[in-house]
Chain A
């Protein structure tokens, strides 16, 4: 009997959408060979099954077990190149997604993997940093700091031991691209970290992965083992020691100093900077802490040159951004595009409109600390400068759409409660401010709010923004204030509010 090769994603979200049930139902079927790949990120189509045709892959969407005969018979498939959600993207960092088996090292190499590392090995450490300067890459974790500056400091600081740390504590609600990379293309992260190790002279590395991502930690450990067996971790005459460390559920550990505290086994509290980790980080040694996505962007930059990267995007934001669309849209999923599209374009072209029965109310960009945008502000271009000018952040690229049923007072309370729960307690504005903020919002929610409460909330917000030690306290007021700014009427309910004459 002829065996048809089918491709099915093994990504956590694909499994959550039912891919595992397909694999179980079809196991032992002699007519098919099931290859478990990463996900293309078009999660609204998952579980999605693909097969080869002379014209490339064809896909079947939202598949149920009984669809197998149709798929094997080649009936009703859509060419992958005919999926607009995917075709309108510019996939560079996510080029392998949906195509390769995540842990097949040979496939990674066949599709251009390790070219960046090879290029780096032919360059001096200074030349690698120069390539990054030309690329104008900024950190993708949220702070958007120029990557080359950090690397230069670590490179120029003399120490017998230096460290490379991948920040895989992807805590921003609404984001999942780091998880996808670790599960779906783990060798890319390792390659990026190896390039950094060579540039700064580090011989040890850690991937600090959040507790909520067990599959990602497993995939990374397998990939590190395979990389070691393939001698990929050899650097000059030394071995690069790379280890996955799992956290224990703390949002603040995504902040670099708190992450390093946690890596040393202590409470993950934020430390005052300077000194910056690039000078004095893990165990007091020079340490580069960068986001998973940042490291994973670097192999292509070294392979194609910094100048190539600098041709993509906008003036202050070069390259592509991985947007993760979620909430009440028809087409949630991962979108890699050059910086510069407007928020409206992204929602329109990729989000595909609102979920059935929903009307748009607001969109939040940048995770739980990101600002809310109403319909009237959707023409903002997605780039660091425009967002900074609007007092907003791109964060880690999370976009969450809320519908008409969303209660803005409850949502604002939810944001403040999140900060109160997650505050590390180191600085007073965040520790106390977030609790007081939550209490004020609870008072408003109970119908006992007054105009003074809104003024108090605004004063409190100013204090938190100016005096907090890190972005948790410093950004927490923004989603609340933008909710009040655009949906103020919902906050001014109750008998104690003085109605305007």
Chain B
């Protein structure tokens, strides 16, 4: 962690310090840390545990359990291709292939210049206009493989 990161972590953790009778909330704290730093660095676990008054193992357990908690920051843009049933039925797999081909990384990885991270998601709740691709917070529906290159061009 850089000094800058350490300061942001400390500031974020201050807002999560449990005040009795409130009990410490590990998940909420990790989400706060993630929103401050972009991810939850594993070397921050002892400090988080200490502020919350819980064990390192409890923090590590929660951190490893939830898909949306990250131990590494994604690329500048996070592409999530929906693999829910409606998207699967509408051949979302083809969209995933088109994206992997275009960005030249496989699912779970970040392109070398750090521009895109490609992931899948299990359902975006956008089933009626599937197949769905979520880029950062933008949801796109009825995506076809030929939409992929121009769509990704708009994210730098």
Q: Which residue numbers of A lie inside 8 Å of B, CB to CB?
A: 12-13, 15-17, 41, 43-44, 46, 170-176, 179, 211-214, 245-251, 262, 264-268, 283, 324-328, 332-334, 355, 364, 367-368, 398, 400-403, 405-406, 411, 414, 418, 421-422, 424
Contacts and interface: CB of A to CB of B under 8 A. Distances in A.
Contact of B121 (A43, A212, A283, A324): A212
17 contacts: A16-B129, A16-B142, A44-B128, A172-B123, A174-B85, A176-B127, A246-B31, A248-B27, A249-B68, A262-B27, A265-B24, A267-B65, A327-B130, A328-B90, A368-B122, A406-B89, A421-B122
Nearest to B30: A248
Given A171-B122, A326-B86, A406-B89, A265 B127 contact: no
Interface in B1-47: 23-31
Given A171-B123, A212-B121, A328-B89, A333 B24 contact: no
A418 B122 contact: yes
Nearest 9 pairs of A and B residues by beta carbon = A173-B84, A326-B86, A265-B25, A16-B141, A43-B128, A248-B66, A249-B67, A327-B89, A249-B68
Given A174-B86, A327-B86, A248 B24 contact: no
Nearest to B80: A212
Interface residues of B, number: 42
A44 B141 CA distance: 11
Given A264-B23, A326-B86, A327-B90, A173 B127 contact: yes
Interface string B57-69: 0100110011111
A176 B127 CA distance: 7
B124 interface: yes
Interface of B: 23-31, 58, 61-62, 65-69, 83-91, 121-130, 132, 137, 139-142
A324 B4 CA distance: 47
Contacts of A247: 27, 66, 68
A12 B86 contact: no
Given A326-B85, A327-B85, A411-B88, A13 B26 contact: no
A424 B83 CA distance: 20
A251 B132 CA distance: 19
A264 B31 CA distance: 13
B141 A265 contact: no
Of the listed residues B25, B132, B137, the one surrounded by the most CB atoms of chain A closer than 10 A to its CB is B25
Given A212-B121, A248-B66, A327-B85, A398 B127 contact: yes
Contacts of A15: 139
A325 B121 CA distance: 20
B25 A333 contact: no
